[in-house]
Amino acid sequence: MRLPCLLACCLCLLPGVQGAQGRFAYKLMNDLFANYSNALRPVEDMDKAMNVTLQVTLSQIIDMDERNQILMAYLWIRQVWFDAYLRWNKEDYDGLDTIRIPSSYVWRPDIVLYNNADDQFTGSMETNVVIRYDGQIMWDSPAITKSSCKVDVSFFPFDGQQCRLTFGSWTYNGNQIDILNHLDTGDLTDFVENVEWEILGMPAKKSVITYGCCSEPYPDVTYTLILKRRASFYIFNLLLPCVMISFLAPLGFYLPADSGEKVSLGVTVLLALTVFQLLVAESMPPSENVPLIGKYYIATMTMITASTALTIFIMNIHHCGPEAKPVPQWAKKFILQYMSRIFFVYEVGESCRRPRTEPEPNSERTSKVPGIDGQAKREDIADVVKDCPEKLSPKDKEAKEELEHSKYAHSQESGKYYVSEQGGVGKGFGYEECPKIHCLCHNERLLKNIEYIANCFRDQRATQKRTGEWKKVAKVMDRFFMWVFFIMVFLMSVLIMGKAI
């Protein structure tokens, strides 16, 4: 029964206790600030420096503007100092050891962010201060700061930045206020993870600087925010599309020359890379340091420009006309024999083991047919015509007409031609017999036509062979440059991806 009674008595006395502390708080407030001024530094000896302990807690990185080189962050700033005129004996005020009052009632150190980049110069929020009975004042204030940060985009998007937050007194020198670090690093326990930046650390360092305007030293505390960019967003949205587009450039050499789309493919790929280059340039600050991805874009665009120029050159070789000169001997040996086998370029009818060989122009098969190979001489034809009989008797003319529709026979003994009335072979015409070779005089026009056709056919085959050789040279060069540019694109992609590992 005693325990419930004691609890009931305590609950009845609690409002009275709270009311008593409230009355003592008002009394303490009146006693402390009766003759207090927040305009002067609260020290008993003005020659002594006041120690101010600073602690910064990083809560969130709001934005990193690389183009304007501004870091926007949400901070919790804690300042602790001792006020010599705000002390009391807590026994005189019913054990009251702390009070909370607006910060404007007490003196505050004018600690500001030196590298502030806010155009409105908004300071910390007006929050309460906690005053302890021994004169210790603790002021916690949240602040959204905009600080200047030197951005180095040389390895974008695999870059890391170091942004400095320098805090110090604006008017008090080191002989009046001395700033101390509460911790060697900034507090990151309540940090909200950023989707773009990873925090590697926030070390703090105290410095004492003597400026040119003043002879007194000015202490400050610098918090270095070490950031590393999360590159996955840029890899999937800027880098991989560029790599895939770059691999299309060497395929332009594999495209057939007669398709008419080789140059168009190179120009289209070049325009696509230009669009990505503009996207990167819009987000980067104007600097002499070209980003790593920008270097990759420029190298790829240069490679595609070179491939387009080479494609135009190779197409000019492919479309060599009949007036083109023959392929040089070194090109035949080096390109058509060796390089064509290395890059597996064969014509129809060839194999990888036995290339197709051209027949010799003076082969036995051609030499057996007189006049067909174009080597018939006009002097032989003239001799035949000169020795032939020019005049025939009327009977002989009739016999000549019958000769055109009759069967010819050759006498092995005399080697002379004659026609019998029964269609046989014999003598009975009144003119001298003509030798066997002299019968070619009747086919002079036929021989001339055969010679012209043979010469045309020979010239046509030579032209086709010469044109085919130039086309094969162009095809071999296409395959060669295709593999060269494939290796270049692969190496550049490995180098740019190696920076991400």
Instruction: Give a three-class secondary structure readout of 13-70.
Output: HHHHHHHHHHHHHHHHHHHHCCCCCCCCCCCCCCCCCEEEEEEEEEEEEEEEECCCCE
My answer on whether 145 and 288 are in the same domain is no
Picking from 230, 248, 274, the residue at the C-terminal end of a domain is 230
What pLDDT is stored for residue 320 in this prediction?
74
What average pLDDT does this structure show over 127-147? 93
**Residue 237 counted as domain residue:** yes
My answer on whether 226 and 237 are in the same domain is no
My answer on whether 327 and 349 are in the same domain is yes
Picking from 230, 246, 264, the residue at the C-terminal end of a domain is 230
Q: Is 198 strand, coil or helix?
A: strand
Sort strands 177-181 and 50-65 into parallel, antiparallel or unpaired.
parallel
What pLDDT is stored for residue 14 in this prediction?
35
Higher pLDDT, 452 or 176: 176
My answer on whether 42 and 158 are in the same domain is yes
My answer on whether 47 and 154 are in the same domain is yes
What pLDDT is stored for residue 224 in this prediction?
95
Picking from 230, 248, 268, the residue at the C-terminal end of a domain is 230
Mean pLDDT is lowest, of 39-43, 61-65, 230-234, 398-402, for 398-402
CATH number of the domain bearing residue 140: 2.70.170.10
Cα 473 to Cα 330: distance, rounded to the nearest angstrom? 12
What pLDDT is stored for residue 332 in this prediction?
77
The alpha carbon dihedral of 406, 411, 416, 420 has a sign of negative
**Residue 2 counted as domain residue:** no
Which H helix or E strand runs over 74? strand 70-82
My answer on whether 262 and 155 are in the same domain is no
Mean pLDDT is lowest, of 39-53, 126-140, 390-404, for 390-404
Higher pLDDT, 401 or 256: 256
Sorted by sequence, the CB contacts under 8 Å of residue 283 that are 6+ apart come out as 66, 67
What pLDDT is stored for residue 401 in this prediction?
53
**Residue 215 counted as domain residue:** yes
DSSP letters, 358-371, are PPPTT-HHHHTSTT
My answer on whether 151 and 249 are in the same domain is no
Higher pLDDT, 355 or 480: 480
What average pLDDT does this structure show over 12-34? 69
**Residue 168 counted as domain residue:** yes
pLDDT band of residue 474 (cuts 50, 70, 90) is confident
The alpha carbon dihedral of 76, 82, 86, 91 has a sign of positive
What average pLDDT does this structure show over 104-119? 90
pLDDT band of residue 132 (cuts 50, 70, 90) is very high
**Residue 97 counted as domain residue:** yes
My answer on whether 451 and 469 are in the same domain is yes
What pLDDT is stored for residue 252 in this prediction?
82
What pLDDT is stored for residue 398 in this prediction?
53
What pLDDT is stored for residue 8 in this prediction?
40
My answer on whether 68 and 171 are in the same domain is yes
Higher pLDDT, 25 or 390: 25
What average pLDDT does this structure show over 380-403? 47
Higher pLDDT, 20 or 271: 271
What is the domain count for the chain?
2
What average pLDDT does this structure show over 201-222? 89
- Model confidence over 300-331: pLDDT tens digits? 888 888 888 888 888 877 777 667 677 777 77
What average pLDDT does this structure show over 28-34? 90
Higher pLDDT, 494 or 367: 494
pLDDT band of residue 429 (cuts 50, 70, 90) is very low
Give strand pairing partners of 61. 73
- pTM, whole model, 2 decimals? 0.66
pLDDT band of residue 442 (cuts 50, 70, 90) is low
Model confidence at 273: pLDDT above 70: yes
DSSP state of 114: T
Mean pLDDT is lowest, of 48-57, 122-131, 429-438, for 429-438
**Residue 435 counted as domain residue:** no
- Model confidence over 365-389: pLDDT tens digits? 344 444 444 444 444 444 444 444 4
**Residue 6 counted as domain residue:** no
My answer on whether 48 and 93 are in the same domain is yes
Q: Give the structural domain span for 166.
A: 30-230
What pLDDT is stored for residue 109 in this prediction?
92
**Residue 396 counted as domain residue:** no
